[in-house]
Amino acid sequence: MARISLRSVLAEIDTPDRSGQPRYFSIDYAKADGELGRKERVRKAGYAGGATRSEGSKFRYNVKKNGVLLVTDATGTETRTLKIARLISYNGIRINHLDEK
C-alpha distance across the termini of the chain, in Å: 21
- Residues 71-95 have pLDDT tens digits of 998 887 888 889 999 999 999 999 9
In this prediction the pTM is: 0.76
Domain boundaries along the sequence of the chain: 3-96
Q: What is residue 2's predicted lDDT score, i.e. its pLDDT?
A: 87
25: nearest Cα among 33, 16, 34, 51: 16
Neighbours of 18 (CB within 10 A): 6
Confirm if 37 and 43 have CB atoms less than 8 A apart. no
